[in-house]
């Protein structure tokens, strides 16, 4: 009986020591990225996912992966693995003040502190080129079909329809994407290009009278001209990383 009591006391003591050790084991956090907001560009939707890791939990807004119902977590500093309270797990494979890379189900997701960096990274992953490369290519193509005001007037007075991309200062990425496909927007017909700074006052007034948004829109604007007037206008806005080969074919046929 005495021996049994001793065994019980020993078991209770060892269990207590183990429990105390478990409760007092150090808790680790990914300190390099704590309390920082990181972004990942989602090119199909044209929006940004965001993630923030804090000691109290992880907040994620986006559609790239599913962390619904997940909040608290444990972190293994040796493996970089984060285990969530919802049963999901992923690994941090790189972290810094400006960048966070997660591996989830064998796929890498690149998050950045600056949205522009994420945009450029996703573009590079998809097209194996940089956004600056695309901008250069677009400008090269636009330079080949660029008009001055006198040439614009010649097309305007022609008895055949012509199509002209008019770029204002507000048109940034939309004009780059559309400009990159300027030679294939409309089958068997050239789409020309002019900047608003090259327009005469007379041409500016003509355009404003038809639709003043042409001179201020962030969209890429293509006007259809015939017999000394603008007969139609097309506003093209990108969503994500779009290509516009053949874009005007259906639009033009619908208007004929």
pLDDT in tens, 19-51: 444 444 567 899 999 999 999 999 888 899 999
Residue 237 phi, psi (nearest 5): -115, 135
Tally of CA atoms within 13 A in the half-sphere of 256 that contains its CB: 8
Give the model's pLDDT for residue 13. Answer: 52
**Is the per-residue pLDDT at 240 higher than 80?**
no
**Cα dihedral 182→186→189→190 (10° resolution):** -20
**Is the per-residue pLDDT at 69 higher than 90?**
no
Q: How far is CA 216 from CA 165, 169, 194, 237, in A?
A: 13, 8, 14, 13
Give the model's pLDDT for residue 227. Answer: 85
Q: What is the pTM of this model?
A: 0.70
Q: Which string of DSSP letters, residue by residue, matches the chain? A: -HHHHHHHHHHHHHHHHHHHHHHTS-----GGGBT-EEEEEETTTTEEEEEEEETTEEEEESSSS--TT---EEE-TTT-EEEETTS-EEEEEEE-SSEEEEEETTEEEEEESSHHHHHHHHHHHHHSS-HHHHHHHHHHHHHHTB--HHHHHHHHTSSS-EEEEEE-TT--HHHHHHHHTTTTSSTTS-EEEEEGGG--HHHHHHHHHH-GGGGT-SSEEEEEEETTEEEEEEEE---SS---TTHHHHHHHHH-
Give the model's pLDDT for residue 241. Answer: 80
Which residue in this structure is represented by tokens 């960048």? 99
Give the model's pLDDT for residue 26. Answer: 62
User: 38 CB contacts (<8 Å, ≥6 apart)?
Assistant: 50, 51, 52, 99, 100, 111, 112, 113
Q: For residue 200, how many other CB atoms are within 10 A of its CB?
A: 13
Give the model's pLDDT for residue 19. Answer: 43
**Is the per-residue pLDDT at 211 higher than 70?**
yes
**Is the per-residue pLDDT at 254 higher than 60?**
no
Q: How far is CA 84 from CA 37, 42, 167, in A?
A: 19, 23, 49
Angle between helices 149-156 and 201-210 (to 10 degrees): 50
Measured CA to CA, the distance from residue 95 to residue 111 in angstroms comes to 9
> Using one digit for the tens of pLDDT, what is the confidence trace for 121-168?
999 998 888 989 999 999 999 999 999 999 999 999 888 899 999 999
Average pLDDT, the chain: 88
* Mean pLDDT for the stretch of residues 206-228: 93
pLDDT above 70 covers what percent of the chain? 88
Least confident of 23-32, 56-65, 236-245: 23-32
- CATH numbers and ranges of domains, the chain: 31-127 (2.40.128.370), 131-255 (3.40.30.10)
Longest dimension (CA), the chain: 115
End-to-end CA distance of the chain: 104
């Amino acid at each position: 009986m005495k021996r049994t009591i001793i065994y019980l006391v020993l078991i209770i003591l060892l269990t207590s020591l183990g429990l105390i050790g478990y409760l007092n084991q150090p808790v680790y956090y990914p300190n390099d990225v704590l309390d920082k907001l990181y972004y990942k560009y989602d090119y199909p939707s044209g929006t940004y996912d965001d993630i923030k890791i804090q000691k109290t939990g992880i907040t994620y807004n986006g559609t790239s992966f599913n962390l619904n119902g997940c909040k608290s977590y444990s972190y293994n500093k040796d493996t970089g693995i984060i285990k969530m309270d919802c049963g999901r797990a992923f690994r941090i494979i790189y972290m810094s003040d400006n960048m966070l890379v997660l591996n989830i189900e064998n796929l890498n997701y690149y998050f950045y502190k600056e949205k522009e960096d994420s945009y450029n990274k996703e573009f590079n992953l998809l097209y194996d080129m940089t956004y600056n490369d695309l901008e250069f290519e677009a400008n090269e193509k636009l330079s080949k079909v660029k008009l001055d005001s006198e040439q614009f007037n010649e097309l305007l007075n022609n008895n055949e329809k012509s199509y002209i991309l008019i770029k204002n200062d507000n048109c940034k990425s939309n004009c780059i994407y559309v400009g990159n496909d300027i030679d294939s927007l409309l089958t068997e017909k050239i789409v020309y290009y002019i900047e608003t700074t090259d327009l005469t006052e007379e041409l500016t007034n003509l355009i404003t009278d038809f639709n003043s948004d042409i001179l201020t829109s962030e969209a890429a604007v293509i006007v259809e001209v015939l017999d000394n007037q603008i007969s139609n206008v097309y506003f093209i806005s990108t969503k994500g990383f779009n290509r516009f080969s053949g874009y005007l074919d259906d639009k033009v046929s619908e208007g004929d």
